[in-house]
Amino acid sequence: MFCTCCHGHLGSMLSCYDAEVSYDCRTDTFLARYPPHGRRTVVIEGVEWDRLRPPPMDTPAYDLHICNCLNDLQPCDHIEIQWRRNKEFPYADDQVDCANFIFGLLDTVVVQFNQYTPGSRWSRAILNRKDHREEGCDTGGFYGGIRKLKSKDEVQRRP
């Protein structure tokens, strides 16, 4: 997986994409090829070692990760959540720092993403803990599975 970090008006988030990676022994860096938001492949040269990591789970990039942690979430947990622009794109695993979780009626959990401006369309997702499915729309993208990060090693530092 290739890790990218977004900084700007939306906040800061670590995103990981499945990538084809090749090593350049002359520079001790990598070349990464990945399709982040469409069919055109992006090629990034000079990728440092700390921006690579193995896939976090055995779920292929186009498949929804089955969540087994929704009942265990606590405020300030670190999680990864699958997100994709639309149904044609693969999921990226976005690492969310210190998300807030509001446990509502009818087995719902509201995930509030602290890196986004409150009120923006990306600042929260409402998930069903018992029957979790992909949620979203074509204008805001789709949220998929959630994985709770359990150790300090899993909580990646931003590149």
Q: Is residue 16 part of a domain?
A: yes
What secondary structure, in 3-state letters, does 42-105 show? EEEEEECHHHECCCCCCCCCCCCCCCCCCCCCCCCCCEEEEEECCCCCCCEEEEECCCEEEECC
Q: Is residue 45 part of a domain?
A: yes
pLDDT, tens digit (0-9, with 9 covering 90-100), for 90-111: 777 666 655 566 666 667 777 7
Q: Is residue 149 part of a domain?
A: no
Q: Is residue 137 part of a domain?
A: no
Q: Is residue 147 part of a domain?
A: no
Q: Is residue 24 part of a domain?
A: yes
Tokens describing residue 30:
């990598």
pLDDT along the chain (159 residues), means of 10: 44 63 92 71 85 68 77 77 78 63 68 75 76 80 81 61
Q: Is residue 128 part of a domain?
A: no
How many Cα atoms are found within 13 Å in the side-chain-facing hemisphere of 52? 18
pLDDT, tens digit (0-9, with 9 covering 90-100), for 66-78: 788 887 777 777 7
Domain that includes residue 7, residue range: 2-51
Number of domains within the chain: 1
Q: Is residue 91 part of a domain?
A: no
Distances (CA, A) of 74 to 11, 13, 123: 22, 19, 17
How many angstroms from the chain centroid is the CA of residue 63? 14
